[in-house]
Every structure is written in structure tokens, then in C-alpha cells.
């Protein structure tokens, strides 16, 4: 028995990835495709490459968004829509009993004023924002399983938060020293053709953008604050109560897929040899010992290791301040490198992982 689900917005990169992933899913299938276009259209005509790669239960036609029809046909909907459209359609679907995994940013930030500061428009669905669950299964598995609305995390926040959270929980790093250098393939910028994204301009190139002002920065901080609080509740009243602050520095890679984050932080105990690479790796391995999609690597991961998979590969090391150095003033730092596929674990794969939990299916079904 396969559960019917809907995809709203199947023509963007996250929607297309969902279509292909769901075609391999043993317990869920895309039973309804809907978009903001006023007329129905054939998804196969627009994307001939999908020929033979869709589930036989998936309709060829993508229809206008009809909440009643979706509710009649599907138990869950994936929203691959602009943020504002998500805030319009999610309430309609939820009120009709359809569970929602929202791949936009609409329900990710719990504080609507921060949402406004980051996205430039007001949040219009406070009611559902209040109960939306942030869909990072490795941190919030149980809450996701009971949720009706899951905010699927951003791609950079997924790669960043999973790499840093164990160190905050373990109290190994200073919360105000976290610097996240990240590089992403161009599919993260969406399917729209923009001048700086042509192969001539973006190929053979590498560039920085949005340094210190990217909308994923507050999302990362929100997740890390929760990890920090978890630490505090264990640590007692004497602990450092500062909220983690992050400097997020994204870059654009001349490739389609993948995010690599290189994260540095100061150690809580900077005495050389107190916190070692072995201790850092142990913190990761114990945090993620039973996670099916997380691999702690002894070497540093590369994008090729995770492309087209739902895997997260992470490696941590503590730098040696004595390396080829005669001067004073150096101290060890933690360096964490994490790699994911931005369209899979960073978007559509994680959305399926969340949907599996929400629908009572095996968490890894349809993923690899």
C-alpha cells in the first residue's frame, strides 16, 4: 500500500527532485501535482527527461492548486512554493486535514520579527507558525513524528547545524566564536535564469555573496540556540548563558550540487592538548551513533561523497597551534567540515525523511 501525497510547485529544482525521489519510494507516491499556473500542463512535455522516470501512479498533468481536490486525494502535501505562497496554502491544507511539509522558509523562524528582518515581508500565519516543527530529524525526530506542519530546513542550516550542535551540547566551544564558511552548488539559487548564473559567468568561477547578511544566518542561530539551551539545562545555573551567534559566509561554486561547510570555533578550554581531535571526533560519533544518514569521517569529506544522496559526512579536528610556528599568541581551534547534497539532505530528501516520520513509515524509506 502506497500513500498518496501532493507536490505543490513541481517545476522548481526541489519539486523536480521530489518527483524523482518519490518515483523510487516504496510507500509513498506523488498522486497530485499542482502549481500556481492558471492552466493544467503536462509535466512530461515540459521536462522530457522525466519520461520513464515517474511513478506510474503519478499523473502527467500538473493542475491549478485546488485545496479540496488535494485533500480528497492526498494525506500529505509537499510545498515547493515561494515563502508567501506557502503561508497562503499551508493553512488551507492543514484545515482540511492534510499534513504539510513546507520546503520554503515560511515556518522556519519561530520569531516573526526576525522573519520580517530576514525576508523583508511580514509573517501572515502566526497561528500555524506557533505549532510548526523544525524538520531536522537528527535533532527533533520525535516532535516531527507528531507534527502536522513541518518546516523543512534550509540547505545551509542543515549542513551547519548538524556539524555544530554536538559541540555546543557538549560545551566544548564558545557560542560567540562560530564562523561558518560555506560553498554551495548553483542549484541552491533556484531554476530561474539570472545573468550571474549562466555557465559563462558562473562556470570556472567562485564568488562570495551575502556575507553576514544571508537569511540562513538567523535560522542557523535559532537551531544552535536550542542546542545551547539543551546544554544549559544539563549544566546547571553556573554555565555560560550567552546565545550562540554565528558569522555565516556563503560562496557560489561552479557546479550543480552540494554544500561544503568549513566551520571554526574557539574551544571553551583553549589549553593545548585538553580538547583533542580525538575528543572532537568522539563528540560527533557519540551524538550521531545511531543516525542512518550521518557518517563521521576520519578524513575530510568532499562533495562527491554525498552528491545525489541523503548523507551528511562530517569531520572535526582541533588545529595544532605549534605547527611550523615560532611566535606567540596561537591557540588551538576546532575546525569542522561537513558535506551534504543541497537538493537531497538540504531539501527534498530531508522533506521525504520528515514525511516518512509524519506518516509512520520507515524513516529512511525511498532514500539512500
CB of 302 to a copy of itself, least distance (A): 4
Whether the CB-CB separation of 138 and 232 falls below 8 Å is answered with: no
Write down the least CB distance from residue 82 to a copy of itself, Å. Answer: 18
Pick the closer one to a copy of itself by CB: 152 or 187.
Answer: 187
| Smallest separation, CB 71 to a copy of itself (Å) | 30
101 Cβ neighbours under 8 A, 6+ residues apart: 76, 77, 78, 79, 135, 150, 152, 351, 354, 355, 358
- What three-state secondary structure class fits 75? coil
Identity of the residue, 67 or 176, whose beta carbon is nearer to a copy of itself in the bound complex: 176
Of 103, 101, 165, give the one whose Cα is nearest residue 294.
Answer: 165
Of 1, 39, 48, 273, which one interacts with a copy of itself (CB under 8 A)? 48
26-45 residues in contact with a copy of itself (CB under 8 A) are: none
Residues contacting residue 355 through CB under 8 Å, at least 6 positions apart: 5, 28, 76, 78, 99, 101, 150, 361
Q: What Rg value do the Cα atoms of the chain yield, rounded?
A: 21
Query: Catalytic annotation on 62?
Result: no
Locate 251 and state its grid cell.
Answer: 560562496
* CA gap 253, 156 in Å, rounded: 14
Q: Shortest distance, CB of residue 112 to a copy of itself, whole angstroms?
A: 11
Q: Least distance in Å: CB of 6 to a copy of itself?
A: 22
Closer residue to a copy of itself in complex, CB, 69/179: 179
Total number of residues shown for the chain = 368
With CB under 8 A as the contact rule, the residue among 317, 348, 354, 356 that binds a copy of itself is: 317
Please pick, from the candidates 42, 95, 124, 243, the single residue that binds a copy of itself as defined by CB under 8 A. Answer: 243
Q: SS3 of 357, please? A: helix
How far apart (Å, rounded) are the C-alpha atoms in residues 96 and 114? 29
Task: For residue 213, state whether it binds a copy of itself (rule: CB under 8 A).
Answer: yes
Question: 94 or 188: whose CB is closer to a copy of itself?
Answer: 188
Closest CB to a copy of itself among 74 and 348? 348
SS3 276: coil
Residue tagged active-site, from 62, 74, 80, 155: 155
Q: Least distance (Å) from a copy of itself to the CB of residue 317?
A: 7
Residue 230 and residue 169 in contact, taking contact as beta carbons nearer than 8 Å: yes
Q: Rounded distance, CA 46 to CA 29, Å?
A: 20
Hey, which residues between 254 and 313 contact a copy of itself (CB under 8 A)?
254-258, 260, 262, 264, 292-293, 295, 297-309, 311, 313
Residues 54-93 contacting a copy of itself, CB under 8 A? none
Task: Name which of 48 and 146 has its Cβ closer to a copy of itself.
Answer: 48
Ranges within 167-206 binding a copy of itself (CB under 8 A)? 175-176, 179, 181, 183, 185-187, 191, 193-195, 197-206
Residue 317: closest CA among 300, 302, 305, 304: 300
Q: Between residues 24 and 274, which has the closer beta carbon with respect to a copy of itself?
A: 24
Is the separation of the CB atoms in 216 and 180 below 8 Å? no
**Phi, psi for 96 (deg, rounded to 5):** -95, 10
What are the two backbone dihedrals, phi and then psi, of residue 225, each rounded to the nearest 5 degrees? -60, -40
Q: With contacts defined by CB under 8 A, how many residues of the chain interact with a copy of itself?
A: 97
Could you tell me the smallest distance in angstroms from the CB atom of residue 25 to a copy of itself?
A: 12
- Residue among 1, 38, 39, 49 that touches a copy of itself (CB under 8 A): 49
| Cα 230 from Cα 334, distance rounded (Å) | 21
Report the DSSP beta bridge partners of residue 287.
none
Q: Which of residues 93-152 bind a copy of itself (CB under 8 A)?
A: 111, 113-114, 117-118
Q: Which residues are part of the catalytic machinery?
A: 155
Amino acid at each position: 500500500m502506497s500513500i498518496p501525497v501532493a507536490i505543490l510547485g513541481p517545476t522548481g529544482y526541489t519539486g523536480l527532485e521530489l518527483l524523482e525521489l518519490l518515483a523510487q519510494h516504496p510507500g509513498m507516491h506523488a498522486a497530485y501535482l499542482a502549481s500556481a499556473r492558471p492552466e493544467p500542463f503536462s509535466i512530461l512535455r515540459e521536462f522530457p527527461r522525466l519520461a520513464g522516470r515517474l511513478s506510474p501512479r503519478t499523473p502527467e498533468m500538473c493542475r491549478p492548486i485546488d485545496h479540496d481536490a488535494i485533500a480528497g486525494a492526498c494525506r500529505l502535501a509537499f510545498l515547493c512554493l515561494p515563502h508567501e505562497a506557502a503561508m497562503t496554502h499551508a493553512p488551507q491544507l492543514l484545515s482540511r486535514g492534510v499534513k504539510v511539509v513546507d520546503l520554503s522558509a515560511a515556518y522556519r523562524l519561530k520569531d516573526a520579527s526576525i522573519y520580517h528582518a530576514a525576508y523583508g515581508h511580514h509573517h501572515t500565519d502566526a497561528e500555524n507558525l506557533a505549532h510548526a516543527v523544525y524538520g531536522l530529524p537528527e535533532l527533533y525526530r520525535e516532535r516531527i513524528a507528531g507534527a502536522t506542519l513541518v518546516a523543512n530546513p534550509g540547505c545551509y542550516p542543515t549542513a551547519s547545524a548538524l556539524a555544530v550542535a554536538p559541540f555546543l551540547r557538549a560545551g566544548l566551544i564558545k557560542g560567540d566564536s562560530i564562523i561558518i564558511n560555506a560553498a554551495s552548488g548553483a542549484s541552491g539559487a533556484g531554476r530561474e535564469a539570472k545573468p550571474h548564473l549562466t555557465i559563462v559567468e558562473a562556470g570556472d568561477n567562485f564568488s562570495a555573496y551575502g556575507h553576514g547578511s544571508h537569511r540562513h544566518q538567523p535560522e542557523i542561530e535559532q537551531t544552535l540556540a536550542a542546542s545551547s539551551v539543551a546544554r544549559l539545562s544539563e549544566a546547571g545555573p553556573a554555565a555560560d548563558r550567552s546565545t550562540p551567534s554565528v558569522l555565516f559566509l556563503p560562496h557560489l561554486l561552479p557546479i550543480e550540487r552540494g554544500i561544503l561547510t568549513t566551520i571554526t570555533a574557539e574551544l571553551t578550554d583553549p589549553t593545548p592538548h585538553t580538547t583533542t581531535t580525538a575528543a572532537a571526533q568522539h563528540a560527533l560519533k557519540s551524538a550521531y551513533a545511531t543516525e542512518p544518514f550521518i557518517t563521521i569521517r576520519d578524513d575530510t569529506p568532499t562533495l562527491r561523497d554525498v552528491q545525489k544522496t541523503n548523507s551528511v559526512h562530517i569531520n572535526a579536528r582541533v588545529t595544532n597551534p605549534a605547527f611550523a610556528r615560532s611566535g606567540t599568541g596561537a591557540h588551538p581551534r576546532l575546525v569542522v567540515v561537513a558535506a551534504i547534497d543541497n537538493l537531497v539532505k538540504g531539501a527534498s530528501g530531508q522533506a521525504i525523511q520528515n514525511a516518512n516520520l509524519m506518516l509512520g513509515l520507515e524513516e529512511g524509506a525511498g532514500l539512500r
